Structure 1
Amino acid sequence: MDNPARGRILATMEHDCDILIVGGGLNGPALALAAAKAGLKSIVIDALPADTRSGDDFDGRGYALALASVRMLARLGLWDTLEAHAQPMHEIKVTDGRVGEAQVFLGLHFDSAEIEEGPMGQMVEDRYLRRALLAAMEAEPLVAQRAGETVIAQETTAGGVTVTLASGGTLTARLLVGADGRRSGTATRAGIRRTGWGYGQTALVCAIAHEKPHEGVAHQFFMPPGPLAILPLPGNRSSIVWSERDDRARAINALPDDEYLAVLRPRFGDFLGEISLAGQRFLYPLNLTLANSFIGERLVLVGDAAHGMHPIAGQGLNAGLRDVAALAHVISHAQRRGEDIASPVVLERYQQWRRFDTASLAAATDLFNRLFSNDNPLLRFGRDLGMAAVNAVPGLRRGFIREAAGLTGDLPDLMRG
């Protein structure tokens, strides 16, 4: 005679997949592909329709991928496709100044020639990275996608987790991953609170075409209202991330293109010749937000769902990909040892690995923004003196270069050379 209790136990072990991933942006698909390398099946639930994600239009957005992130994309089989659309970042120049001043370089200069591994990073446009991730997921039999779906409820049991979709269906898995952004519904439904604050700054994001070649040099120009990043794209184009006070940013973004450029030009300078807009313009309010826990019962948070920080160091996506690589490392090793990949012991390994690092990075970006986004003469003198000191000491400078390349600390398997 069959044992009903035994049947219930077996039922809890029959899941639609190993990992349910809520969020189909960049980190979610990357995790699904990384998990597949360990033989784990994933379903990626994405609120956006597939054709929206796969569009070929250039919208002006690009990502500064650290060398460690490039290594990870290569290990996932994506870099052969992406490399043709990537721009190596050979140098980074950091300058302190004011609007309208000539950008005379008196700050930090990081040169990839000082490390053996090659360029510190690569710039890749959003459209190419998303399409590469989508194509790789479609080609991977261990990854399924549920596009145009949202999660409205989640329930955890001893044997797994169940989510309810807005369409009325349910899905079950061993582990639930929230990769659904700074306002993560996955975290909220799990009762995970957040700590953070706004900066009173908004980032204006766009791409520009310019007359002169950028030579693969990225610039970070600090001004009292906020930093301006000029990041090289393929050809004579650059991605702009430009921070202003909230009201000022909204007013600038409301201007016609020619007036928008008239405000940008004195901040940008003339070192790249004449400039024009290429692609759309975006506004992103800036804040710091950290989940009070990166894990819950059979639940993990990655990327912006776990931490959102100021873009001052361009580390947002890199930090998210490091989360993904660390989580893939932890669960793949647990799987090989025969452990439950969603057990508290396994998930705590991920949290211990990533929470201190991301909190430290968030604190550093917060400090840098507060230190540089002002015109206090004493602070200005101190920070310029500090940059000059770092620039004058090769060992310190090399350490910063390796940090920018993502080569410091305990690297997950996917990010090792």
Structure 2
Amino acid sequence: MKANWKRTLLSLVLCAGFVWPAGAVSTGQPAASQTGTSTAQSKPAAYTVKKMGLLGVKRTVESDNNTVKMLNKTAASLDSSSYMSGSASGATGESEIAIYAALIEDMKKAMDGLDTTSDLYKTYAAQLKVLEDYQTSLNQNAVSGMQQAMAMLSQLDDAAYTLRKQAKNVSGQLALGAQTMLITIKNLGYTKENLQVTLTQLDRNLAVLKTQRKLGMIGQLQLDTVQNQRDKLAQSIDTLETTRENLGSSVALMCGLDANTIVMPADFETLYEGNLDKMSYQKDLEQAQKNSFLIWQKQDAVRSAYNAYDKNISGTAEAVKSAEDALAAARESVVAAFDSTYKTVKDCRTTLAAKRTAQSQAELDLKTATVKYRKGIISKLAYQQAQDAVTTAKLNVESAYLSLYTAYNQYEWAKEGVLITTAAA
């Protein structure tokens, strides 16, 4: 039994030893792994679009991802199997002891009133001695069996607890990755809109160039060059949409949805300035360290090393030192990762403020251009360019807002102990 649950635990940990590659979350690119969440290469021929927000993605990963379900199910089965095995073995031992206690009691009653010097009494006495010796043996075995059963229960409880910690960590990593990809899909939508603004500008320029070509004002090469730029840009827009759909397919797989489903972003919750103002580096760092799976893992290794330590056994002291060094490295790694996440939020907040200022300036420029256009001071093309500048500025603000949204979302996960670190797991 002991060997079986250890092999089960080892295989599950190897299967679910999910470590998100450095940079994968921040870039929104899914990583192939043994969790059943490999990157989608192309969209299905026929697919269903499911719109989800960040909270919906998190809940779906927790409830439907195959790896998370497997770890939780196995943890639950370890609990139940240890309880059942302990109950069954205890009942069997108690039954045998009760039988021999009854036999001894009957034997003593049979001996009452007999002549202690008679052969019958001596025969009964010899049989009673055998019964009592066997009862003593059973009692000793029962105590030993109970100790073994308690040890097994403790081992199974530890295994179940470890699996639940592993499940929570894997679930957090997957949910964070899926959420970040969902935000990336939305951000790529803004990029697509920006490219479409540029495409519209090129179409307007092409219309002018074609007229100029007919009048002999420009050569064919100049017209062809702009036309090629326009065609390549249109192709890039199509490629961008395919990328969004592929990411949506990857999010669906990470959520445990079927292969014919693509997840696209629904409306996100508003990020309030007050939440950003409440960020407390030291307090939040302490929370991140407390919740870190990596730190817990290394602390557990230190406990195991101390339990195995014996000054008379070579290598055990070195094992303790190695485990302590690994724990210190893990703490440093978590601090560094948290520090980077904290600074990213601050930087994104500064960038968003700058983009909003640029939008305000573009809107002022458009007001000026509108007055000039109505008075005939500037051309329609210049007026349209001022309109495009406002559209681009708005899209830049939305993109910067999403970058801040992504950074803050990762910061919130960091407080829960889900961080991208460089320390070996």
Name the TM-score class by shorter chain.
under 0.3
Question: Which of these two proteins has the greater Rg computed from alpha carbons?
Answer: 2
Q: Indicate the structure with greater strand content.
A: 1
- TM-score (ref. length: structure 1): 0.27
